Structure 1
Amino acid sequence: MTLFVSISLDSPVLETSVERASTVDVTLEQQTPSEDGSLDLTIWASGDGLGGFEDGLDADETVSRWVHIGGTETSKLYRTRLTERASSSIDYHGWADGKAVFLSAERDAARWTVEGYFPDRSVLRDLAAGCESNGVTFDLLEVSDTDRLQDARQFDLSDVQLQTLLTALNRGYYSVPRQVTLEELAASLDVSHQAVSERLRRGVDSLLRSTVAARCEGDRDPADYREHPTDDVSSNGFEAEDTTLTRPIGLGPEAL
């Protein structure tokens, strides 16, 4: 049975770079082996502190060299060559022996968060063993049967975005007045407030595009909706029948 898995890795890769630019979000675009056996990471860095991030790349002991590929003032694509030692702490493709499909990897000040599909738990155990043998702390954040992801996929949401949106809804983040701050919400999800903010923005964008925007196409002029903002809309925009999610936080490899 194919599993959707979300894990955190306490790898030092790019830790200094992110610490120098706390407002920058770092997302992995591609991980490839180089000729000398070390890893090349192609990453997107987005935010207002990209100058500080580049200073961090210069000082980062896990990076042997880097180059700016392109982008805008607030979102840039970089290619980084890791040191051999650093490469051994983030080689999750190798630990899974090529049997897992990795969907995303994000770096915040504390850790890497990696998501992917695993054919079964034996591959997940192999990855956990690879982490242990390379001195990387491994935390299992979530394991889900892929059948459960279909509700999220119909709204173009990742499972993490769905989870974050429902947690925010249940905790009162969208209530008036607001019942929880972004920092408190981040603490409950065990991620940075920058990561939560990005998940919420992307999740709401996907949700609106797949529901409200899709229904407006070919219907009536959007100005009509602005003139009648409360027509046929509940107090919070929609009602969730069951917002309970099973989310084991901080489970170690022994739980696999």
Structure 2
Amino acid sequence: MRAVSFALEYETGADAVADAFREHPDLYGHSLSCTVTPSHCWRVDRLTGPATALEVAEEAFAEDGHTADCFGASDCPADTRSEVLHRDPSTRILFTSWRRTDECASIPHLALEYVGPGVLFATERRGSRYEWHVLLPSDANLGAFSDAIQAEKAPNVRFDLRQVTDESAWLSAYSGRPALPYTHYEAMAAAVERGYYETPRGITVEELADELDLPRSTLSYRLRRAEAELARSFVGSK
């Protein structure tokens, strides 16, 4: 098996879901699963971010969720269903299904047509960039699959074929981020950006807490909880 990674970048107005992510740069999404048959597509997405951003994204998925897969779907009369499987202040898990019509051209269906059954998908989304990681047989016709995406995408969607690697790239993308509360993710992101995890440290906990206007004890707690979740995710908790 091998993995191919590529990205789609949407111009403003090209895709309602992409617009929601572009307007809220702290929003992050990845698909937990994506299943396709010649006539249907089902997927589950996990979104993390601030509550207001999640509300906007949830609404976009409800109205245009199949645009996550289908090129030009804003004009496509697909029979779409979206349902929230889990909701909390920092997370949404969304189920989306849609019935394919003659006007639909989606990445999973193009893979089914040009590569065959048994292809697995993982996606990641932040801002205007929507990354796909596809696990496929080593002898798959990647050129035909890539050409089909180029032919079907709209002019306001840019296709960027990034790399072809072994299956570890797909496994990494599929795992996504650990289920951190957004405040803990925000604290860790600030720590990484300011060099807290560098050697030597670029900033102390006290200095970072002052910058974030947080009590030192609160920041230390959030960092410890985030680090513990990352460690469990890496090692594999039972």
Question: Per the shorter chain, which TM-score range?
Answer: 0.5 to 0.7
Q: Which runs of 5+ in 1 are unaligned?
A: 162-168, 180-200, 215-256
Q: SS of the counterpart of 2:141?
A: helix
Shift of 1:158: 2.5
Q: Which has the higher strand share?
A: 2
Structure 2 vs 1, CA of residues 103 and 94 (structure 1 numbering), >3 Å: closer, same or farther?
closer
Partner of 1:22: 25
Shift of 1:27: 1.1
Would the aligned equivalents of 1:9 and 1:113 in 2 still touch at CA under 8 Å?
yes
Matches of 1:60 and 1:111, distance apart in 2:
17
Would the aligned equivalents of 1:17 and 1:59 in 2 still touch at CA under 8 Å?
no
Partner of 2:105: 88
Shift of 1:96: 4.3
Structure 2 vs 1, CA of residues 70 and 134 (structure 1 numbering), >3 Å: closer, same or farther?
same
Q: Which amino acid is 1:97 matched to? A: V
Shift of 1:109: 2.1
Q: SS of the counterpart of 1:130?
A: helix
Partner of 2:163: 142
Matches of 1:13 and 1:90, distance apart in 2:
17
Matches of 2:233 and 2:93, distance apart in 1:
27
Give the alignment's TM-score, normalised by structure 2: 0.53
Q: SS of the counterpart of 2:57?
A: helix
Would the aligned equivalents of 2:23 and 2:127 in 1 still touch at CA under 8 Å?
no
- 1:44-74 deviation line (CA, Å, top 9, x unaligned): 1112231222233356483754221224332
Partner of 2:172: 158
Shift of 1:132: 1.8
Shift of 1:16: 2.8
Q: SS of the counterpart of 1:19?
A: helix
Matches of 2:118 and 2:37, distance apart in 1:
20
Partner of 1:107: 125
Would the aligned equivalents of 2:85 and 2:94 in 1 still touch at CA under 8 Å?
yes
Shift of 1:100: 5.8
Alignment counterpart, residue 47 of structure 1, candidates 46, 49, 54: 49
Bigger relative contact order (CA 8 A; separation at least 6): 2
Shift of 1:134: 0.7
Q: SS of the counterpart of 1:14?
A: helix
Matches of 1:15 and 1:89, distance apart in 2:
16
Aligned residue runs from structure 1 range 194-213, under 5 A: 205-206=230-231, 209-210=234-235
Matches of 1:79 and 1:134, distance apart in 2:
25
Structure 2 vs 1, CA of residues 209 and 33 (structure 1 numbering), >3 Å: closer, same or farther?
closer
Q: Which amino acid is 1:174 matched to? A: E
Give the alignment's TM-score, normalised by structure 1: 0.50
Alignment counterpart, residue 93 of structure 2, candidates 77, 82, 85: 77
Shift of 1:105: 0.8
Q: Which runs of 5+ in 2 are unaligned?
A: 68-73, 75-79, 176-191, 204-225
Matches of 1:124 and 1:34, distance apart in 2:
20
CA RMSD of aligned residues (A): 4.3
Partner of 2:137: 119
- Does residue 84 of structure 2 align to residue 68 of structure 1? yes
Structure 2 vs 1, CA of residues 57 and 3 (structure 1 numbering), >3 Å: closer, same or farther?
closer
Partner of 2:151: 133
Identity across aligned pairs (percent)?
A: 17
Shift of 1:112: 1.9
Matches of 2:117 and 2:85, distance apart in 1:
30
